[in-house]
Amino acid sequence: MPYSLLLKGGHLIDPKNAIDARRDIGIDAGRIAAVDADLPAAEAAEVIDVTGLYIMPGLVDIHTHMFATTGFRNAWAGDNSILPDGFSFRSGVTTMVDTGSAGWRLFEDFRLRVIDRFHTRKFAFLNIVGMGMATNDVEQNTADMDVDRAVAVGEEHADVIVGMKTAHFRGPEWISVDRMLEAGRRLGKPSMVDFGLFPKERPYYELVTERMGPGDITTHMYLGDVPWVGPDGKLLKYLYTARERGIIFDVGHGGGSFCWRNAVPSIEQGFYPDSISTDLHTLCMNDEMQDMTNVMSKFLALGLPLEEIVRESTINPANEIGHPELGHLSVGAVADVTALNVIEGDFALLDVHGGRLPATQRLRCELTLLNGEVMWDWNGRTGVDWRDLPENYGVRNPEGLIMPEEVS
C-alpha cells in the first residue's frame, strides 16, 4: 500500500503551501507522501478519521527551557526547566528550542543529558554566559561572556545550536548584548534578547532600532515594561522601524511577559507577532501561560485569524531558527502533524498580571504525530471499539491464563 497511515477528513491549514481547505494526508516512511482532497482509504494500512479537526504542521515552540538535569536549585538551568516529552506532544508541539539555559561551559552536558535523548525534536540557543542560566547572579558575570569560546562551541554543535542568547542581564551597559551579537554574527546565526527590565541607560527602542540586526529576535514582545502605545492610542513608530530593519518579534509569553495592555492594540492595529512561543518552564506552565495551545487561544480571542496563528506557530518559527524543512506539510517533508479542535464555549483567558479577557473559543490538541508516528491521541481516534476486538485481547500468555475452579 502506498500509505502506512492516512489522515482523512480534516481541514488542513498549511500556510507555506497556501492551503486552507479540506484535505487528506497520506504518510509513509515517516514523511508526507500525498496531500489531496480525497485519498482512497483502501490504499492505507491504517486510517485515522480526523473529521472536524484542523490539521496543521507540528507546532514549533522557539522559546522553552529544557535543561532540567543540573540539580541547580531555583534555576532556569535546573529546577525551573522541564524535560521535553512530558509537555510537547500533548500541546501539539513537535519541535522545541531551548533558549539559553546552557552556555558554552555546560552545553556538552546539556546535549548529553537532554538534546540527544527524548523524542521531541530539539534545538537550542547558546547563552553568551558560559554558565548559562545556572543562577541570575551568574548571568551578571561579564567575565564569563567569552565570544571566542561561545563561537567554538557553536561551531562544534552547529547541528543543534540555532543561535545566541542573552537574558536577565541587569547592568546598565550593553556588554551582554554586544558580545552575544558578535558571536551570533560570527556563527552566521540569529541572536535572541530576553530582558525583563530595561534601565534608562539601555532602553528597548535602542535595542531594536540600533543594535540588533536583520533576523535577530526580540522575545517577550508584549512585556509590560516595553512601550507600545502613544498618547493618541497608536502604536509607537519605533516598532515599525524595527520591523523594517528585519527584527523578529516573538511572543515568549512566560510567567511575567504577556500584557493585554500591549497585545490588544498590537493585534487591533495589525502589528502581528512573527512567532508565537511559550517560554515554557515550571513557574508558568501551571499559571497563566499553561501551554502552546493556550497561548494560541489568546490570539484567537484577540481576533487573529486561525491561519495566521498557525503561520506564527509553524513555518515562521521554523524559518527563524534556520530550519525551513520544518513547519509545513509539503510532499516529502517530515510527517510532523498536529490536529487541533476549536472548542466553543464561555471562557476567560489571563495575562500575567491577572488581566482577564473573555473568549468564546479555545484550541485543544487532539492528535500529534512525529515522523509519522502517533505521539498523542487525546480522544482515542487511533483505537478500535473494544467489543470488536478478539476474545481475550490483552492476554499476553493464553496458556498461562488459569481460570478459577468455580468458573471451570
Give me the pLDDT at residue 135, please. Answer: 82
Fill in the DSSP letter of residue 142: G
Give me the pLDDT at residue 15, please. Answer: 98
Give me the pLDDT at residue 392, please. Answer: 87
Higher pLDDT, 343 or 401: 343
Give me the pLDDT at residue 346, please. Answer: 98
81 occurs within a structural domain: yes
Give me the pLDDT at residue 405, please. Answer: 75
Instruction: Please state the rounded mean pLDDT for residues 305-318.
Output: 98
- Number of C-alpha atoms within 13 angstroms, CB side, residue 366? 22
CA angle, 370 then 249 then 243, to 5°:
130
**In whole angstroms, what is the distance from residue 280 CA to residue 81 CA?**
8
**In whole angstroms, what is the distance from residue 216 CA to residue 219 CA?**
10
Say which CATH number the domain at 239 has. 3.20.20.140
Give me the pLDDT at residue 400, please. Answer: 79
Q: Is residue 75's pLDDT more than 80? A: yes
Instruction: Please state the rounded mean pLDDT for residues 126-149.
Output: 95
Q: Is residue 401's pLDDT more than 80? A: no
HEC per residue, 166-229? EECCCCCCCHHHHHHHHHHHHHCCCEEEECCCCCCCCCHHHHHHHHCCCCCEECCCECCCCCCE
Q: Is residue 361's pLDDT more than 80? A: yes
25 occurs within a structural domain: no
Q: Is residue 163's pLDDT more than 80? A: yes
pLDDT digits (tens, 9 = 90+) for 99-134: 999 999 999 999 999 999 999 999 999 999 999 999
Give me the pLDDT at residue 150, please. Answer: 98
390 occurs within a structural domain: no
Q: List C-alpha distances in Å: 91 to 96, 147, 282, 345, 369.
A: 12, 36, 15, 19, 11
Give me the pLDDT at residue 407, please. Answer: 58
Q: Is residue 403's pLDDT more than 80? A: no
The total of structural domains in the chain comes to 1
395 occurs within a structural domain: no
Instruction: Please state the rounded mean pLDDT for residues 71-86.
Output: 96
pLDDT digits (tens, 9 = 90+) for 20-64: 999 999 999 999 999 999 999 999 999 999 999 999 999 999 999
Instruction: Please state the rounded mean pLDDT for residues 320-328.
Output: 98
253 occurs within a structural domain: yes
30 occurs within a structural domain: no
- Percent of residues, the chain, with pLDDT higher than 70: 99
92 occurs within a structural domain: yes
pLDDT digits (tens, 9 = 90+) for 215-242: 999 999 999 999 999 999 999 999 999 9
46 occurs within a structural domain: no
Give me the pLDDT at residue 408, please. Answer: 52
Higher pLDDT, 248 or 405: 248
Domain that holds residue 213: 58-330+342-356
pTM of the model: 0.96
What grid cell was written down for 341?
Answer: 479542535
Strands 5-8 and 59-64: unpaired
What count of residues does the chain have? 408
Contact 44, 28 (CB under 8 A): no
- Percent of residues, the chain, with pLDDT higher than 90: 94
Give me the pLDDT at residue 71, please. Answer: 95
Mean model confidence pLDDT for the chain: 96
Instruction: Please state the rounded mean pLDDT for residues 307-328.
Output: 98
Instruction: Please state the rounded mean pLDDT for residues 59-84.
Output: 96
**In whole angstroms, what is the distance from residue 58 CA to residue 120 CA?**
11
Q: Is residue 2's pLDDT more than 60? A: yes
